[in-house]
Amino acid sequence: MKTIKGPALFLAQFAGDEAPFNSWDSITRWAADCGYKGVQVPSWDARLIDLATAASSKDYCDEFLGVARDNGVEVTELATHLQGQLVAVHPAYDAGFDGFTVPEMRGNPKARQEWAVDQVKKALSASVNMDIKAHATFSGALAWPYLYPWPQRAPGLVETAFDELAKRWLPILNHAEECGVDICYEIHPGEDLHDGVTFEMFLERVSNHARANMLYDPSHYVLQCLDYLDNIDIYADRIKMFHVKDAEFNPTGRQGVYGGFQSWVNRAGRFRSPGDGQVDFKQVFSKLTAAGFDGWAVVEWECCLKHPEDGAREGAAFVRDHIIRVTEKAFDDFADGGADDAANRRMLGI
């Protein structure tokens, strides 16, 4: 067993144009003041990091880490959720996702995808320069528009989509292997990797690549009515990253999982701050600890009700209170009478 590290905070939902959220120095000082020991960095946000320089310059990375360390936090991981999304985009979503790339790539899906692949590779190289062993991302999606089979899906449609998804990711996974960094796909609706079955379909197509792993976030499973505790038992060996985000699912006679196109606050399923939803985090932390997970517990704030700064401060305390410092001895060691092979044989009457 290992003691989970934390608390840490994903900065994506906090970075902004106003102080203290508009620079690497000020946002890390703010995070430490909230009670965090680590921060997960959105690599697409130029206010916080220059990804191209981080990928090529160890000196830049040393300085980047030094600022964080001087302010009281570690860098836990880099993330490429936006760039990873662009590795695979169905044409129906071209306009919606075009804003995730740089202006010169917009309106050109092929160039956009090539840019996205390069971005994820750069983030993996930057992780090496920062001595970080795990990386967070999205898989992107080609099959997602066909999630609900009406009209019925054409034979081979899903298989072809996953074959292509694996083809696009395999060079990135191989680069991750060269870097010694695990790619942790956030299992998330809107991605082709949105539950255990789809993760397995992908894993099979990349020959069970050692660097293809999971970012575990129970909130996404609550909203799918998936057993998030059993998921830990099944995929413990592949869970290399952990987001602490809560959710609640309260279906009515009017709406259920699909949400009726309502805003988050009016949906049956909605995200909440840690402790305000339905996730049994005592069991989540217990199972991850027993499974030997030794990564960071990273708060991701996405509450539909609570102010983000309140959610951040409460989240740090919540994680700190749930981390289990593992025991170094058994509770009944006091009753150990000692034994050897001869004594054991006598006890058994043999």
User: Percentage of the chain with pLDDT > 90?
Assistant: 93
SS3 content of the chain, % helix, strand, coil (to 5): 45, 15, 40
Q: What pLDDT was estimated at residue 251? A: 98
Q: What pLDDT was estimated at residue 85? A: 98
Q: What pLDDT was estimated at residue 22? A: 98
Write the single-letter amino acid at 100: F
Rounded mean pLDDT of the chain? 96
Range of the domain at 219: 5-348
User: Percentage of the chain with pLDDT > 70?
Assistant: 97
Q: Could you tell me which residue, 305 or 1, shows the higher pLDDT?
A: 305
Q: Could you tell me which residue, 11 or 329, shows the higher pLDDT?
A: 11
Rounded to two decimals, what is the model's pTM? 0.95
Write the single-letter amino acid at 233: D
- In 3D space, the residue among 70, 16, 27, 10 whose CA is nearest the CA of residue 315 turns out to be 10
- Each residue's pLDDT tens digit, 135-145: 999 999 999 99
- In 3D space, the residue among 170, 246, 260 whose CA is nearest the CA of residue 207 turns out to be 170
* Residue 77, phi then psi, degrees to nearest 5: -160, 160
Neighbours of 53 (CB within 10 A): 15
- The residue assigned the tokens 């985000």 is 245
Token pair of 328 as six digits: 């170094």
What's CA 250's distance to the chain center, in Å?
Answer: 25
Q: Does residue 336 surpass a pLDDT of 90?
A: no
What is the secondary structure of 75-124 as a DSSP string?
EEEEEEHHHHHTTSB-GGGHHHHGGGS-GGGTT-HHHHHHHHHHHHHHHH
Token pair of 277 as six digits: 């939803």
Q: Does residue 40 surpass a pLDDT of 90?
A: yes
Number of domains in the chain: 1
Q: What pLDDT was estimated at residue 343? A: 84
Q: Please report, for the domain that includes residue 128, its CATH number.
A: 3.20.20.150
Contact 87, 143 (CB under 8 A): no
Q: Does residue 19 surpass a pLDDT of 70?
A: yes
Token pair of 348 as six digits: 């058994």
Token pair of 130 as six digits: 């920062």
- Each residue's pLDDT tens digit, 77-99: 999 999 999 999 999 999 999 99
Q: What pLDDT was estimated at residue 335? A: 57
- In 3D space, the residue among 86, 81, 77, 73 whose CA is nearest the CA of residue 26 turns out to be 73
Q: What pLDDT was estimated at residue 339? A: 72
- The residue assigned the tokens 């059993």 is 230
pLDDT confidence of 241, banded at 50, 70, 90?
very high
Contact 42, 79 (CB under 8 A): yes
- Each residue's pLDDT tens digit, 122-170: 999 999 999 999 999 999 999 999 999 999 999 999 999 999 999 999 9
What is the secondary structure of 197-219 as a DSSP string?
HHHHHHHHHTTT-TTEEEEE-HH
Q: Does residue 333 surpass a pLDDT of 70?
A: no
